[in-house]
């Protein structure tokens, strides 16, 4: 049977079978061996030095990136012809998770190098450019950085003022301008830079080695809230000459290159925060088992168990969603290669198809690590505010994740605009679904009970209703506002909130069902508990977002009709979430670490 590979955004209008979802327990022995090699590297090289990352030891971070390259951890996704292991997208996700879990400084350096510092060359470089740069980037001999942001060009990346002027002999472009917030700049050998040629509508992209140019200068390291051993500098270009053959893609392709590199960066950021959450939970559990108050360890108190249960739920759901999307990207890439597309084209199109999912997951995961790190500090109490503990640094480092790879606000609007664009182009039939749901709303409600013999029956019904709710609200918004909807930023962000919760809840339900069907875990109850906790959390978020949409778009009878729709599609059965959180927390406290 041919494996079904869903289209990007298809989760909004179709149901996913547990058999169609990939879960981390299905990684092969080869993938697990590479993961274990990464774990060993982290335990040997990073954990013993964890406190040093808060003292601006940029050379430590640089040395670790180069050592990781020697071990093959930077070249997992590169083709063999460029010295890589060609292990597939989801394997790169797995390694990114482990490399990013201990400190944001290493996570940023690793992500900037292997993601946006590699992909533009890998996907858009000429063959000679790839052969020149990729093997040494993959081995860690050369460290790469990505120069896009400017003082007046942040979220609006295509508005950059850096100029590229063709020399009279036609052999070079001279780059002049300023870039800011450039990760890895202080230790980079390779610079990917974006600049505008003449009055082109779109920017262009170039790559060069710093030793081959003049006119390149860097400011001192930036003073930042977190990421204290991640190099971040301003970069100044004064007629830096780059050979014309080292342009990436074609003239004017820069904005497209930036966007497509960021698609991969977003989902990699999501899996990086997943690794951070798992470590934060482990630190929290250990502290809760050690700290005593009122004659008990604090882990015995319900208030702490509530925190641990909620923290674990977010970490579990992030994990399920990122590897689901990662495998979809990998499967789609393989499919495109089999259809005759080149390796670069397949990887580019494979990721681009899931731009919606990448944006939504970046938002969910970065908000999740915000919550988890904040609760981690709270569990530590006064010690959580102390720089002597890892929790203080984790809290500060987590904050940047809502800004990296496009702010969460930009990503929410981008995702919904992509959904609407696909719907208008007939690639995502949301309008038929919206009409069907509106018709259903006029019918007598379904008062039938869920099949109580089916695992997660109530949660599955919640998921179906939330999908109906999103279709109902998106249809009403389009009908009322038309093309003007794309400019209503608040509405777009509320619609995105529904899309995020739907994708993550569906992922969790399908993973938990699959684990039960395949008997992957001896005791499935904590996973069922986390899925249920998430389902009820999702309903609360969707109720609030939906009311905001209806209040903003409709009035009178139309408003009342949709408010009834919200009530109908967010109805839930009473469940004791307190006991479920305790159940999850007790498992963690018993194992004294993240184990779910």
Instruction: Supply the pLDDT for residue 313.
Output: 98
Instruction: Supply the pLDDT for residue 429.
Output: 86
Instruction: Supply the pLDDT for residue 449.
Output: 65
φ/ψ of 244, rounded to 5, equals -60, -30
Over the range 188-227, which residues count as b (16 or more CB within 10 Å of their CB) and which as e? bbbbbbbbbbeeeebbbbbbbbbeebeebebeebbebebb
Instruction: Supply the pLDDT for residue 335.
Output: 95
Q: Between the CA of residue 95 and those of 32, 40, 268, what are the distances in Å?
A: 10, 12, 10
Distance, in Å, from the CA atom of 544 to the CA atom of 303, rounded to the nearest integer, reads: 25
Instruction: Supply the pLDDT for residue 453.
Output: 76
**Short-list 293, 162, 312, 482, CA closest to 491:** 482
3-state helix, strand, coil in the chain (%, to 5): 65, 10, 25
Is this structure's pTM higher than 0.85?
A: yes
Identify the sign of the CA torsion 398, 404, 409, 415.
Answer: negative
Tell me which of 405, 459, 501, 506 is the catalytic residue.
Answer: 405
In this structure, what token pair is assigned to residue 270?
């999501």
- What is the SS3 assignment for 419? helix
Contacts of 381 (CB under 8 A, 6+ apart): 291
The string of DSSP letters for 252-273 reads T-HHHHHHHHHHHHHHHHHHHH
CB atoms within 10 A of CB 244: 13
Q: What is the 3-state secondary structure (H, E, C) of 369-385?
A: HHHHHHHHHHHHHHHHH
* pLDDT tens digits, 70-123: 999 999 999 999 999 999 999 999 999 999 999 999 999 999 999 999 999 999
In this structure, what token pair is assigned to residue 48?
């013993």
Instruction: Supply the pLDDT for residue 37.
Output: 96
Number of H helices, E strands in the chain: 18, 10
CA 184 to chain centre: 20
CA 337 to chain centre: 25
Distance, in Å, from the CA atom of 317 to the CA atom of 320, rounded to the nearest integer, reads: 5
Does 405 participate in catalysis according to the annotation?
Answer: yes
**Short-list 545, 445, 551, 565, CA closest to 502:** 545
- Spans of the chain below 50 pLDDT: none
Distance, in Å, from the CA atom of 35 to the CA atom of 301, rounded to the nearest integer, reads: 35
Distance, in Å, from the CA atom of 384 to the CA atom of 389, rounded to the nearest integer, reads: 7
- What is the SS3 assignment for 192? strand
Burial class (CB in 10 A: 0-12, 13-18, 19+), 373: buried
The two beta strands, 247-248 and 204-209, are antiparallel
Contacts of 523 (CB under 8 A, 6+ apart): none
CB 333 within 8 A of CB 347: yes
């Amino acid at each position: 049977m041919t494996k079904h590979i869903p289209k990007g955004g298809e989760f909004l209008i179709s149901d996913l079978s547990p058999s169609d979802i990939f879960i981390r327990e299905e990684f092969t022995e080869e993938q697990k061996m590479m993961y274990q090699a990464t774990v060993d590297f982290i335990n040997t090289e990073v954990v013993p030095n964890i406190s040093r990352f808060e003292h601006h030891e940029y050379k430590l971070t640089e040395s670790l990136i180069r050592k990781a390259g020697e071990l093959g951890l930077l070249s997992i996704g590169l083709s063999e012809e460029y010295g890589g292991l060609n292990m597939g997208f989801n394997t790169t996700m797995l390694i990114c998770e482990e490399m990013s879990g201990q400190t944001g400084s290493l996570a940023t350096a690793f992500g900037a190098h292997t993601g946006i510092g590699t992909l533009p060359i890998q996907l858009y470089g000429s063959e000679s450019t790839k052969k020149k740069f990729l093997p040494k980037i993959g081995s860690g001999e050369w460290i790469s950085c990505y120069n896009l942001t400017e003082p007046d060009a942040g979220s609006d990346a295509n508005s950059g003022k850096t100029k590229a002027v063709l020399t009279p002999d036609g052999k070079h472009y001279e780059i002049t301008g300023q870039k800011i917030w450039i990760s890895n700049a202080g230790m980079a050998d390779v610079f990917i830079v974006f600049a505008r040629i003449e009055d082109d509508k779109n920017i262009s992209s170039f790559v060069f080695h710093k030793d081959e140019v003049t006119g390149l200068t860097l400011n001192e390291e930036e003073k930042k809230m977190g990421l204290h051993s991640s190099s971040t500098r301003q970069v100044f270009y004064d007629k830096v000459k780059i050979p014309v053959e080292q342009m990436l893609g074609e003239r004017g392709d820069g904005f497209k290159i930036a966007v497509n590199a960021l698609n991969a960066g977003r989902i990699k950021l999501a899996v990086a925060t997943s690794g951070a959450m798992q470590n934060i939970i482990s630190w929290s559990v250990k502290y809760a088992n050690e700290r005593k108050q009122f004659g008990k360890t604090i882990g015995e108190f319900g208030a702490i168990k509530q925190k641990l249960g909620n923290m674990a739920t977010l970490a579990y759901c992030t994990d399920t969603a990122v590897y689901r999307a990662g495998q979809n990207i990998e499967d789609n890439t393989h499919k495109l290669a089999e259809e005759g597309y080149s390796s670069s084209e397949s990887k580019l199109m494979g990721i681009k198809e899931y731009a919606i999912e990448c944006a939504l997951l970046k938002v969910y995961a970065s908000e999740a690590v915000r919550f988890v790190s904040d609760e981690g500090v709270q569990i530590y109490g006064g010690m959580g505010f102390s720089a002597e503990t890892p929790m203080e640094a984790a809290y500060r480092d987590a904050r940047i994740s809502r800004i990296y790879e496009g702010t969460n606000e930009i990503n929410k609007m981008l995702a919904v605009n992509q959904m609407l664009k696909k719907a208008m182009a007939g690639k995502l039939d949301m309008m038929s679904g919206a009409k069907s749901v509106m018709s259903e709303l006029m019918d007598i409600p379904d008062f039938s009970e869920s099949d109580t013999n089916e695992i997660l029956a109530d949660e599955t019904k919640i998921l179906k209703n939330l999908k109906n709710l999103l279709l109902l609200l998106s249809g009403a918004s389009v009908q009322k506002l038309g093309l003007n909807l794309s400019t209503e930023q608040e509405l777009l962000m509320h619609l995105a909130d529904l899309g995020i919760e739907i994708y993550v809840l569906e992922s969790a339900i399908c993973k938990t069902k699959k684990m039960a069907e395949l008997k992957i875990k001896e005791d499935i109850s904590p996973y069922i508990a986390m899925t249920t906790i998430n389902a009820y959390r999702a309903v609360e978020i969707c109720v609030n977002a939906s009311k905001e949409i209806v209040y903003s778009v409709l009035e009178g009878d139309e408003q009342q009709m949709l408010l009834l729709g919200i009530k109908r599609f967010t109805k839930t059965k009473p469940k004791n979430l307190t006991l479920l959180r305790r159940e999850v927390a007790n498992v963690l406290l018993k194992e004294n670490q993240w184990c779910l």
